[in-house]
Amino acid sequence: MQPIRQIRSRTVVLPASNIDTDQIVPARFLTTTTRAGLGATALFADWRFDASGKPRADFVLNQPAATGCRILVAGHNFGCGSSREHAPWALVDYGFQAIVSTEIADIFRSNALKNGLVPIVLGAEEHAWLIAHPGIEVTVDIEHKTLALPDGRALEFPLEGFSRHCLLHGVDELGFLLAQSEHIAEFEYHRA
C-alpha cells in the first residue's frame, strides 16, 4: 500500500443512500481471479452503461466534470451488503482515493482501509452541504483527520489511530499480524 498524507481533488456526488456493493460491482464481474481492471468495466456497471454497453450520458461519472475526481461524496450508508472487496478495488482502480458519507457499512469500511481508500464519515449538515455543492475542490488531510472546504473550514472526521498510521506510512496489516506469531503460538499452545 502506498503512503497517503493528503488528497486534494474536486468531488463527484452520488446522492443516493444505501448504495450497496452489488451496485458498485455487480456479481457477474466476480469471477475474476485478480484485483486489476475492475475500474474500467465493473465499477457501477449497470448505472454507467445501458443494456447494450453504451455509456449513459445522464450518469454522473460519464460527465466531463467527473474526470480526474478522486473523492466520491455518496449518500448515507455507503457500501452496504456483500463483503466483496472487489468494490473498493474497483473504486481505487477507477481513481478514487476517498469516500465521503454520513455512514459507511462496516465490512466495506474495513476493506477500503486495506486498499488505501479513505472512508470519511461527516455529520449530516456538513455532508448535505457537500452533496449540494458537487465539483468543489476539497483537501483531505490524513494526519489531522480533516476535510478542508474552499472557504477554509476544516471538517474533522473519525479515523482510529491504527488505521491512520497504516494510511500515513503505507503499512500492510498482514506484516503487523505476522509479527505477532509468537503471541499466536502461545495462545494456541494454551488452548490445546
Partner 1 sequence: MTAQTMLDKIWRSHVVVPETADVPAVLYVDLHLTHEVTTPQAFAVLRAGNLKVRRPERTIGTLDHSSPTQADQVFGRVPIAIESARLQMAEFERNCRQFGVELLDMKHADRGIVHVIGPELGLTQPGSTIVCGDSHTSTHGAFGALAFGIGTTEVGHVLATQCLLQRKPRATAVNVHGRLSDGVGAKDLILAIIGKIGVDGGTGSVFEYRGEAVRGLSMEERMTVCNMSIEAGARAGMIAPDATTFEFLAERPRSPRGAAWERALECWRTLPTDMGARFDREIDIDAATLEPMITYGTNPGMVLPVNGRIPADGDAVFHKALNYMGFSPGDALKDKPVDVVFVGSCTNGRISDLRSAAGILKGKRIANGVRMLVVPGSQHVKRIAEAEGLDRIFTAAGAEWRESGCSMCIGMNGDTVARGKYSVSTSNRNFEGRQGAGSRTLLASPATAAAAALRGRITDPREVLS
Q: Which residues bind partner 1 (CB under 8 A)?
A: 15-18, 20, 22-23, 26-28, 30-35, 46, 51, 75-77, 80-85, 88, 103, 105-107, 110-111, 114-115, 160-162, 165, 173-174, 176-178, 180-181, 183-184, 187-188
The smaller minimum CB distance to partner 1, of residues 25 and 66, is found at 25
| Smallest separation, CB 20 to partner 1 (Å) | 5
What is the SS3 assignment for the chain? CCCCCEEEEEEEEECCCCCEHHHHCCHHHCCCCCCCCHHHHCCCHHHHECCCCCECCCCHHHCHHHCCCCEEEECCCECECCCCCHHHHHHHHHCCCEEEECCECHHHHHHHHCCCCEEEECCHHHHHHHHHCCCCEEEEECCCCEEECCCCCEEECCCCHHHHHHHHHCCCHHHHHHCCHHHHHHHHHHHC
| Smallest separation, CB 146 to partner 1 (Å) | 20
The smaller minimum CB distance to partner 1, of residues 59 and 139, is found at 59
| Smallest separation, CB 143 to partner 1 (Å) | 15
Residues 105, 154: Cα–Cα separation, whole Å:
24
CA gyration radius, the chain: 18
Whole-angstrom distance between the N-terminal and C-terminal Cα of the chain? 36
The smaller minimum CB distance to partner 1, of residues 64 and 174, is found at 174
| Smallest separation, CB 153 to partner 1 (Å) | 27
The smaller minimum CB distance to partner 1, of residues 105 and 147, is found at 105
The smaller minimum CB distance to partner 1, of residues 62 and 115, is found at 115
| Smallest separation, CB 133 to partner 1 (Å) | 18
The smaller minimum CB distance to partner 1, of residues 154 and 185, is found at 185
| Smallest separation, CB 65 to partner 1 (Å) | 21
